Chain A
Amino acid sequence: MTRYIFRRLLQAIPLLFVISLVLFVLMQNMGDPIATMGGRNVTRSADRERLKRQLGLDKPIIVQYLYWLVGNDWTKTDLDGDGVAETPGVRRGVLRGDFGLSLVNKKPVTQVIGERLPNTLLLMLTAEAFILIFALLIGIYSALRQYSTFDNIITTVTFLFYSMPVFFFALVAMYIFAVNFKKWGLPYLPTVGMFEPTAGKTPLQVAWHMVLPTATLSFGFIAGYSRYIRSAMLEALGQDYVRTAKAKGLPRPEIVYIHALKNAALPIVTIIALDLPFLLGGAIVTERIFGWPGMGRLFLDHVSRGDTPVVMGILMMIAVAAVIFQLIADILYAWLDPRIRYT
């Protein structure tokens, strides 16, 4: 197993290189970092040239990529922008853990991301916990009550939710729980940020502000997974080994939650682990809608200003995460299914 993990990680390395190169090239078309540097003032063309040289943006794209990847401390850079490269470079490159400085605010990329990452993780983990709990509850319950009124209602509702765009759900939720609840004098949910500035960042404030973003991020996944769990459970419950378990006189909970669920979990685990990058994608949209100070908003803010170091930092983190999620899915699968052994 250890060897398998090791091999899979090794195999991921060339893939990550290719991804990083493609993303880096694509980033060059995402906007001009110089254009927005002067704020509302138009940048003079002489300044533009100087800025470009100072930031190294005058170099061919492949050289820029190389500097990003391995650093430029082995060569000279044009720090004062006079057209002569005389200052030794200081960047150490991604391979040595240096993701560079943000073009927008000159802070280290790792710091910029580091400030936002915990907020995104908080949102994602809470959402994932909700998703798993509700999807399992609804999925198993509707499998056990197949074609009952509850099951039929759930079928309709999940279908509706599953096909509903995230922004639409968010707007409807805001309209009901923020706008109208306020109008009716009920306790209403906040729609922006992590906490009331006046109240400060207390756990209660954060939790209260998380209700709508979490619901928005979770609803589609809950709808999809509960359907999936329902059909996986129904399939497992119809198997011969469930009849055997029943013939042994096992109590029903043991049949459902051990004999059936352990088999049904196999396909579910894979789907959920492989979906984690999509959850991150959903988080980006959700953060944007609710002004949640996470990586998603960071990403959108910086991509529109052509801030290659920050955007690349975020994208590479996602790429690495996707590789790791995939690996986790495989490991979980092998752990759950004794018929599978990785070597």
Chain B
Amino acid sequence: MNRRQVILDLKDLRTRFHIAEGTVYAVNGVSLTLHECETIAIVGESGCGKSVTMLSVMGLIPVPPGEIVSGQAFYRNRDLLALSEAEMEHIRGKEIAMVFQDPMTALNPVLTIGRQISEPLRVHLNMDRAAAQQRVIELLEQVGIPDPKNRMNDYPHQFSGGMRQRAMLAMALACAPSVLIADEPTTALDVTIQAQIVELVTRLRDALCMAVIWITHDLGVVAGLAERVIVMYAGMVVEEANVDDLYDDPRHPYTLSLLAALPRIDRRRDRRLKSIPGAPPNLLVAPHGCPFAPRCEFAFDRCRIETPPLLPVAIEHRARCWYDVVNGRPFE
């Protein structure tokens, strides 16, 4: 069992968007726990609610159209979803930091890299200009930007994609947060740079004992990085397991097809998730029954009527399915 302290405990989060076409049921009851110094990965195909889940925790959902209907997100026993905006400002960037997918658009084009990294230092640690500058140089050095003294005066457009993501990391790590949420930080980068960023995060995580939530499409990255994996589908957690168990002993049909679609190691040109047959779920209708039923080869009557609960199937391993894939028959 995990004997480390729980640092982030998300309970039954539901987030919706009210748009012209109707209501988007983006997150439908996500619960997860993150322990100190632990890394978990959240995987799932595009649109399954990975980003919205984490943005909800951070209070970064645009309202309207967004609405957090219910749920709690305990960070060190404080419910983030109940905090005021002013209280959240002290959490964001200081306790929980976030790195976004696209470093091209996530950095402000008209402010220098140095300024953008120094901002959290100023607002959270009350550093003065000189101290912040010194720290920015250290941070840039730490994430492997050469000649940080001069490069900190550059603007984002003078940085390459990989360097921008390093700068984003430096910014996120500025106040030594306890939790780092990385939302597909390598998706926009080419493969060699991806590996460097993963390596960098791993190193910094170990040095700082930081808990990391790594959102990704890339099951290949997950293996070397995370201890536990959470598989999401249509705004729900459908399977949760330690990383080896998930690969060796998947219990949810969706996970099975994800792994089946994964190219073999000897042909790993593109390790992103291959699309699996069938249409992705329509989030505009309220969830009823198992969301995976239309694409599931094991689906039977009950699946279309009743949504399965997330139930333990093995040690530290839970799945949301009415069907016992090990024994090849429905559960009792």
Contact = CB atoms under 8 A, between A and B. Distances in A.
Interface in B134-158: 155, 157
B304 interface: no
Contact of A250 (B106, B107, B123): B123
Given A338-B155, A339-B157, A249 B108 contact: no
B110 A337 contact: yes
Given A240-B100, A247-B97, A248-B119, A338 B157 contact: yes
A59 interface: no
Contact of B109 (A238, A249, A338): A338
Given A250-B123, A262-B111, A244 B106 contact: yes
A183 interface: no
A258 B111 CA distance: 9
A247 B60 contact: yes
Interface stretch (B85-93, B209-217, B224-232): B85-93
A268 interface: no
A247 B106 CA distance: 11
Interface string A229-266: 00000000011110111111111101000110011001
A263 B108 contact: yes
A321 B49 CA distance: 55
Max count, chain B CB within 10 A of own CB: residue among A244, A337, A339? A244
Interface in B93-142: 93-94, 97-98, 100, 102, 105-112, 119-120, 123-124
Interface size class on chain A is 20 to 34
Contacts of B293: none
Interface string B154-196: 0101000000000010010000000000000000000000000
A339 B120 contact: no
A228 B297 CA distance: 54
A277 B329 CA distance: 80
A247 B58 CA distance: 7
Contacts of B120: 248-250
A247 B93 contact: yes
Contact of B105 (A241, A248, A250, A252): A241
A258 B123 CA distance: 14
A9 to B, nearest CB: 27
Nearest to B177: A249
B105 A239 contact: yes
Interface in A43-79: none
B108 A339 contact: no
Contacts of B94: 249
Contacts of A246: 60, 92
A262 B90 contact: no
Contact of B107 (A244, A249, A262): A244
Contact of B98 (A239, A247, A254, A263): A247
Contact of B91 (A249, A251, A262, A263): A249
A249 B157 contact: no
A317 interface: no
A240 B123 contact: no
Given A249-B93, A338-B157, A241 B106 contact: yes
Contact of A241 (B62, B90, B107, B157): B107
B119 A263 contact: no
Contacts of A254: 119, 123
Contacts of B102: 240
Given A247-B93, A248-B171, A240 B106 contact: yes
A250 B111 CA distance: 14
Nearest to B115: A258
A240 B98 CA distance: 12
A43 B259 CA distance: 103
Given A247-B92, A249-B92, A338-B155, A259 B124 contact: no
A206 interface: no
Contacts of B109: 241, 263, 337-339
A271 interface: no
A254 B58 CA distance: 18
A133 interface: no
Given A249-B90, A249-B120, A249-B123, A244 B108 contact: yes
A336 interface: yes
Interface in A293-341: 336-339
Contacts of B89: 249-251
A18 to B, nearest CB: 37
A248 B58 CA distance: 10
B223 to A, nearest CB: 28
Contacts of A262: 108, 110-111
Interface of B: 58, 60, 62, 85, 88-94, 97-98, 100, 102, 105-112, 119-120, 123-124, 155, 157, 168, 171
8 contacts: A240-B100, A240-B102, A247-B93, A248-B92, A248-B171, A249-B89, A251-B89, A266-B110
Given A240-B106, A259-B108, A338-B157, 17 more contacts: A238-B62, A240-B102, A240-B105, A241-B107, A241-B109, A243-B106, A244-B108, A245-B108, A245-B119, A247-B97, A247-B98, A248-B92, A248-B97, A248-B123, A262-B111, A336-B110, A337-B110
